[in-house]
Amino acid sequence: MAQRKRIFIDMDDTLCQFRKRYAEKLKSHPEIAYPQSQYGFFADLEPIPGAVEAYKTLEKSYDVYILTAPSYLNPLCYTEKRVWVEKHLGLETTPNLIICQRKEFLMGDYLIDDHFYPFTGKMMLFGSPEFPNWEKVLEYLA
């Protein structure tokens, strides 16, 4: 059997709704300049529509990893990302969580991310006209 291809998937604004919560918090607590520094911010993010289902679908045919750059000024962020993965993708997915500031160091076939990184494989820019949502990502990788 051929080796399965490897996919890396970003968290903030690819799997989870970072910007939405950030905007809500700024509105409700304008005195807090960096809402992402608050306890519970990362753990409580809502999933992007279709993201959890897409992850589960991709896992059937690919080696899928979560690759997220932490908010390194907030040490809680590292733990809360792990909490989020268990909550939405299950305990069995937590070994596939990679928290790394330098995504370009990772070797793989696809990187699905809302930020562009110089990546050795195919960079799939989430939210771009080509990949505006998870439906389009799945179509491409089907």
Would you please indicate which residues are annotated as catalytic (active-site) residues?
Answer: 10, 12
- Of positions 8, 9, 10, 110, contacts Mg ion by CB under 5 A: 10
Give Cα 73 distance to the centre of its chain. 19
Q: Is 22 in the site for Mg ion (CB under 5 A)?
A: no
- Of positions 114, 117, 123, 133, contacts Mg ion by CB under 5 A: 114
Do strands 122-125 and 63-68 pair parallel, antiparallel, or not at all (unpaired)? unpaired
**Do 98 and 66 touch, CB atoms closer than 8 A?**
yes
| Cα 128 from Cα 38, distance rounded (Å) | 29
Binding string, residues 69-88; x marks residues near Mg ion by CB under 5 A: --------------------
Write down the residue that tokens 């291809």 correspond to. 5
Number of shown-chain residues binding Mg ion (CB under 5 A): 4
| Cα 17 from Cα 109, distance rounded (Å) | 25
Nearer to Mg ion, 58 or 111 (CB): 111
Residue 2 CB, shortest distance to Mg ion, in Å, is 30
In eight-state DSSP terms, residue 89 is H
Binding site for Mg ion (CB under 5 A): 10, 12-13, 114
